[in-house]
Structure 1
Amino acid sequence: MSDHFGGPRRIIDDVTLRLTDHLQDAARARAELIRGHSRTLDLGTRQLVDRDQLNANRLNWYESIFTPQHPPGPNGRRFAPYTPSAAELEMRSRVLTDMDRLTDSLPESANGVYIMRSGHDLQIYKPAAEETFGLRNWLPHKHGSLAIREVAGYRVFEMMGFPRVPPTALGGGPRGLGSKQQHMPLGRSKPASKFRREHQQQAAAGHFVIGASDAKRRNFQPLEHSDSRPSEEDDLVLYDLGHSIPERSHSSSGYSHSFEIHSDFVNKWAGETLDDNVMAGVDRVTPDMLGSALEDLRLIYEDGTEIRFSDDAINGVLGRHHDLKTTGGIPSRI
């Protein structure tokens, strides 16, 4: 009887032994995988801490440099009043009337975005009341915070002599106060590297100074020409600069999404020396000019509520401009 069952029993024992070996191998492999994930998480945590510490150190450095040089005056201002350009004033005066049918062709957005008519022209209208902030705890979650950043982005590019952002201004519309921007006919989207070198560097410099966090491919396009084929000679148009100019964390919002610059142009030119013709535009701008342009931006509601930049936000712009101006290029580590 034992001989009759000996063969199958040996087979069962052999299979059991093999399964045990396989299970032990699998357990060892899983343990090593977990250890690898743990090492990766530890490295990622250290990198995040290093990055956050770098940003904190840079912000503290900005404040130590610029706050003493620009103390508030008797009227509470740190900088002289700003005089908007003729293009901005003209845009501010535009009266928005009918919504254009092109609004239906706009890509879906978390914020309210409308194409409006003003006489024979078209404008992009973004009402402040329809702004959303997601998990961004580095800007105030107050309606109008994005609107003033849209205009600030335009002013920074304009004063550096980089005509990459269409004229933009604060103003009213059928859905209340917000930002208004000249509508531009745009061509087919293409990568940052496919634009002319000068335009790439202008975009990189401007995005770095304002700290643009949403300057990916969906937020820049070539100006449309009669010949719709992509060309390196296409004029670059930048837009959607509302998610920029960070401030210290607003812990009351309960969010914890830390700030980073996200720009295809900054990524491409980080660590590189910018061309002289681009740096000439950067050099012509002084801290007083930047401070004046930002401190002047205020969105005031009928109930007296005022949306404006904090000293902290202004210091950050001044500091990034200082980095760019003194090194001749965008730092390799941002």
Structure 2
Amino acid sequence: MPASERVPEVGLNPDGSPGPEVLTTGELTVRGQVREASNAVLYCETVHEGRTVACVYKPVAGERPLWDFPDGTLAQRELAAYLVSEATGWGLVPPTVLRDGPYGQGMVQLWIESAGDQDGALLALTEDAEPAPGWKAVAEAQVEEDRTALLVHADDIRLRRIAVLDAVINNADRKGGHLLPAADGRLYGIDHGVTFHTDDKLRTLLWGWAGEPLLAEAVTVLEKLAAELDGSLGERLGELLTTAETAALRARVRRLLETGAHPVPGGQWPSIPWPPV
């Protein structure tokens, strides 16, 4: 049987990478903690059929309450973001599950080892008045008391897809450090705990396409997403989000399709997260 036709091992994706099923099996073993995180983030390992898989475990018990996200848990929102990402077909969020662990129920996500800037930087500061070819302007940044620079991001299809996903899930915290380029060339977005709010809270470093027409592929994806939100995806998200939040999600998808353009900053909420990285 040709390699392309081989049935993948149970729990693995067709390309041999770990799927979400791998994360739900085996005992989680805590190996360390991400100290700079505002909530409890534990680096763990789980063993699946003799294969050790690295993952991130964020127990609900370690979440700090947020006054503007009072319903549900951050872990539920992380899983909801993964489900929406999978529905797009773009695979922008690492495999994510909810399960019990050493400190109770929490979000468990495949650990992505960042390849850094091996294929070029995604974000940069420039003292030029306009972005260079291949770059998109975000905002003017104060770098010293009397000096400013232009914050830019790459005009990269991977970033553009994440910008669409963020608009759909209403991501309030798309920082540079939440973008992980993998060794295989894929780009992942992580840390989706503050998403799906009913109010417009989109805060991101990916404003470079604001107001520009959506690409044809994005329109196709949004049309597919709209249909799935009225079916099984909507039912699954209804177990993780409030009725008002799922209604707002459907409304955002409809609005993107009606306008046919990337959203622009609303002005009633800071448009860039702090700190930006």
Q: Do the structures match in fold with TM over 0.5? A: yes
Determine which structure has the larger helix proportion and give its number: 1
CA 1:290/1:148 → structure 2, altered by over 3 Å: closer, same or farther? farther
Equivalent in the alignment of 1:243: 194
1:288 Cα deviation from its structure 2 partner: 4.6
Unpaired stretches in structure 1, ≥5 consecutive residues:
1-85, 226-233, 249-258, 300-307
Amino acid corresponding to residue 224 of structure 2 in structure 1: R
Equivalent in the alignment of 1:309: 241
Whole-angstrom distance in 2 between the partners of 1:195 and 1:164: 17
Equivalent in the alignment of 1:45: none
Whole-angstrom distance in 1 between the partners of 2:62 and 2:95: 21
Aligned residues: 216
- Give identity over the alignment, percent: 25
Amino acid corresponding to residue 258 of structure 2 in structure 1: T
Equivalent in the alignment of 1:289: 229
1:326 Cα deviation from its structure 2 partner: 2.2
1:290 Cα deviation from its structure 2 partner: 6.0
CA contact (8 A) 2:20 2:96 kept: no
Whole-angstrom distance in 2 between the partners of 1:288 and 1:223: 29
Whole-angstrom distance in 1 between the partners of 2:108 and 2:99: 7
1:121 aligns with 2:47: no
Q: Higher relative CO (CA 8 A, sep ≥ 6), structure 1 or 2?
A: 1
CA contact (8 A) 2:226 2:254 kept: no
CA 1:281/1:107 → structure 2, altered by over 3 Å: closer, same or farther? farther
SS where residue 110 of structure 1 aligns?
Answer: coil
User: What TM-score comes out, normalization by structure 2 length?
Assistant: 0.69
- Whichever of the two has the greater Rg, that structure is 1
CA 1:263/1:326 → structure 2, altered by over 3 Å: closer, same or farther? same
User: After the TM superposition, which residues 75-114 of structure 1 pair with which residues of structure 2 at under 5 Å, given as runs?
Assistant: 90-91=21-22, 93-100=24-31, 103-104=32-33, 106-114=34-42
CA contact (8 A) 1:295 1:314 kept: no
The superposition leaves residues 100-130 of structure 1 with CA deviations (integer Å, 9 ceiling, x where unpaired) of: 2xx35x3511211111111111111110111
RMSD: 2.7
Equivalent in the alignment of 2:70: 140
CA contact (8 A) 2:23 2:109 kept: no
Whole-angstrom distance in 2 between the partners of 1:311 and 1:130: 25
Unpaired stretches in structure 2, ≥5 consecutive residues:
1-12, 124-134, 136-152, 267-277
User: After the TM superposition, which residues 42-81 of structure 1 pair with which residues of structure 2 at under 5 Å, given as runs?
Assistant: none
1:220 aligns with 2:171: no
Whole-angstrom distance in 2 between the partners of 1:290 and 1:169: 22
CA 1:285/1:277 → structure 2, altered by over 3 Å: closer, same or farther? same
Amino acid corresponding to residue 271 of structure 1 in structure 2: G
Equivalent in the alignment of 2:201: 260
1:293 Cα deviation from its structure 2 partner: 2.7
The superposition leaves residues 17-72 of structure 1 with CA deviations (integer Å, 9 ceiling, x where unpaired) of: xxxxxxxxxxxxxxxxxxxxxxxxxxxxxxxxxxxxxxxxxxxxxxxxxxxxxxxx
Whole-angstrom distance in 2 between the partners of 1:244 and 1:88: 23
Amino acid corresponding to residue 217 of structure 1 in structure 2: G
Whole-angstrom distance in 1 between the partners of 2:214 and 2:259: 10
Whole-angstrom distance in 1 between the partners of 2:265 and 2:164: 15
1:198 aligns with 2:157: yes
1:133 Cα deviation from its structure 2 partner: 3.2
Whole-angstrom distance in 2 between the partners of 1:158 and 1:113: 23
SS where residue 125 of structure 1 aligns?
Answer: strand
SS where residue 154 of structure 1 aligns?
Answer: helix
Equivalent in the alignment of 2:209: 269
1:284 Cα deviation from its structure 2 partner: 1.7
The superposition leaves residues 76-105 of structure 1 with CA deviations (integer Å, 9 ceiling, x where unpaired) of: xxxxxxxxxx886514522333212xx35x
CA 1:88/1:328 → structure 2, altered by over 3 Å: closer, same or farther? farther
Whole-angstrom distance in 2 between the partners of 1:211 and 1:146: 14
CA 1:315/1:297 → structure 2, altered by over 3 Å: closer, same or farther? closer
Whole-angstrom distance in 1 between the partners of 2:22 and 2:252: 28
Amino acid corresponding to residue 181 of structure 1 in structure 2: Q
Equivalent in the alignment of 1:186: 114
CA 1:235/1:221 → structure 2, altered by over 3 Å: closer, same or farther? same
Amino acid corresponding to residue 205 of structure 1 in structure 2: V
Whole-angstrom distance in 2 between the partners of 1:322 and 1:260: 17
CA contact (8 A) 1:211 1:245 kept: yes
User: What TM-score comes out, normalization by structure 1 length?
Assistant: 0.58
Equivalent in the alignment of 2:254: 322
SS where residue 97 of structure 2 aligns?
Answer: strand
SS where residue 196 of structure 2 aligns?
Answer: coil
CA contact (8 A) 1:205 1:324 kept: no
